[in-house]
């Protein structure tokens, strides 16, 4: 475990949130307008490989801000870190998960095939 980092605290949800969030993400990723489509995180399912990717990325980010070990970070907490904004990249078929921190935001690309949409249990009317 890292000893020089402070213990983890809550996050500031200000940078990417708001009406211009999609535009800022498009700009940061260098995407053309219309190439990204925001999704509801509750509709997503990640493969085992996708979850391992998310956990490794979350651990690396958390180590920048506080003392954390990968074994201490559950898959659900790791995924929760990246749910500030979720986008489907139309061009690649991949997913982009974004985490918002006070001074910086992080977006993690998840390759096509490492994620999918959960089946709907209720009929859509």
Kindly state the average pLDDT of the residues 42-71. Answer: 87
- Coil, strand or helix at 85: strand
What was the pLDDT predicted at 12?
Answer: 37
Q: Give domain status of residue 88, yes or no.
A: yes
| Predicted local distance difference test score (pLDDT) of residue 57 | 93
Domain membership flag for residue 95: yes
Task: Return the bridge partners of 36, or none.
Answer: 89
Stronger pLDDT, 19 or 74, i.e. the higher one: 74
User: Considering the domain boundaries, does residue 92 fall inside one?
Assistant: yes
Contact predicate 96/30, CB 8 Å: no
Q: How many structural domains compose the chain?
A: 1
CA atoms of 18 and 38, how far apart (whole Å): 13
- The tens digit of pLDDT for each residue in 3-33 reads 333 444 444 333 444 545 666 666 666 655 4
pLDDT at site 3: 31
Q: How far apart are alpha carbons 123 and 125 in whole angstroms?
A: 6
- What domain range is 57 assigned to? 29-115
In a domain, 65, yes or no: yes
Compare 26 and 63 and report the one with higher pLDDT: 63
Is 1 within the bounds of a domain?
A: no
């Amino acid at each position: 475990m890292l000893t020089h980092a402070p213990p983890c605290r809550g996050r500031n949800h200000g940078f990417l949130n708001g009406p211009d969030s999609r535009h800022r993400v498009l700009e940061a990723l260098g995407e053309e307008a219309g190439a990204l489509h925001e999704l509801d995180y509750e509709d997503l399912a990640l493969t085992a490989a996708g979850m391992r990717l998310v956990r490794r990325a979350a651990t690396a980010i958390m180590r920048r801000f506080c003392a954390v070990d990968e074994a201490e970070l559950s898959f659900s907490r790791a995924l929760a870190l990246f749910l500030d904004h979720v986008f489907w990249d139309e061009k690649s078929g991949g997913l982009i998960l974004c985490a918002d921190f006070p001074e910086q935001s992080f977006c993690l690309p998840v390759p096509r095939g490492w994620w999918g949409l959960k089946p709907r249990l209720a009929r859509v009317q």
